[in-house]
Amino acid sequence: MFSAGQVGLLCGWGVFSTLRVIDGVPFAFERHWARLTRDAAALHIPLPPDPEGVRRELLELIEANGAQRSTLRLVVVRNGGGLWEGPNSSGQPSDLIALTANSKQWGDGVKLSYVTHARHAANEFAGAKILSWAQNLTWLESAQARGFDEVILLNERGEVAECTSANIFVANGNQVATPPLGAGCLPGVTREILLEAIRVPGIQIVEKTIFPADVESADAVFITSTTRNLLPVIRVENKPVGRSQTIWQALENAFEEFANHYVAEHKPAPAAR
């Protein structure tokens, strides 16, 4: 039971991650937990000490909700500290919240607009996935009211950082680039897998400083997130972008193969009868 004065919820003092559930398996759980651990340490939020215990609880939730192919949100909120500290009903230093939802259908491509000065790359918390998400939601809502699907967030140097809930990649020739973490972007799990684990002959994936002009002139542009995989960008503001889907399709196929292999290795054993 949460208290009315629970500081984590009142102040957004928490961290979260969104996982894709495939055939009952929380995909890339270890990578999500590693990022939660880094972000929680930076924000002084105690995590449950047993990640495998958390995984088992998530599997129980997925089974109970019949959410074999879904999106799962995992949140850890802090219970004590700060000016607005209220009673701690659970007696724990933090609370874990998990919920499932139907996976969103994103369509065949997205239209993006820009938001300037939306990321402060020099901030020590840049790149942390924190519960206080209101700015992102407001930027997204404003963009959607204008007919766009997402926004490209620029940092204080005018560099491309990320979208409100996705990383961004641009392709030219055989090179695919995404902004470095120093641009102020969140280290997305799909981004991490592409950089570290996906190998497609003839395609090089790198971190590189990107400006709006680079996005608008690229052979292909796509955004990545747990729920989107790799999703092509078709317009930025009023300009069509991404003349080729060849590289995107090759990487999308490789990523799906990686995901299927992970699921096959982590499929829960059937319950004993």
What single-letter amino acid sits at 258?
F
Mind listing the pLDDT tens digit of every residue in the chain (273 residues)? Answer: 566 677 888 889 999 999 999 999 999 999 999 999 999 999 999 999 999 999 999 999 999 999 999 999 999 999 888 765 666 666 788 999 999 999 999 999 999 999 999 999 999 999 999 999 999 999 999 999 999 999 999 999 999 999 999 999 999 999 999 999 999 999 999 999 999 999 999 999 999 999 999 999 999 999 999 999 999 999 999 899 988 889 999 999 999 999 999 999 998 776 555
Listed by start position, the domains of the chain span 7-101, 110-259
**Chain-centre distance of CA 154, in angstroms?**
17
Contacts of 103 (CB under 8 A, 6+ apart): 20, 69, 70, 71, 227
Between CA 50 and CA 40 the distance in angstroms is 14
- Quote the pLDDT of residue 139: 98
SS3 264: helix
Residue identified by tokens 């002084």 is: 44
Same fold for the domain at 7-101 and the one at 110-259? no
CATH topology of domain 7-101: D-amino Acid Aminotransferase; Chain A, domain 1 (3.30.470)
**∠ CA 148-99-78, rounded to 5°:** 95
Give the separation between CA 158 and CA 166, rounded to whole angstroms: 18
Per-residue pLDDT, 8: 87
Query: Considering only the top CATH level, what class is 110-259?
Result: alpha beta
Report the pLDDT value the prediction gives residue 186, as an integer from 0 to 100.
Answer: 97
| Centroid of chain to Cα 164 | 9
Helix/strand/coil for 63: helix
CB 210: neighbour CB atoms within 10 A? Answer: 22
Tokens of 81: 């500290």
CB 171 within 8 A of CB 194: no
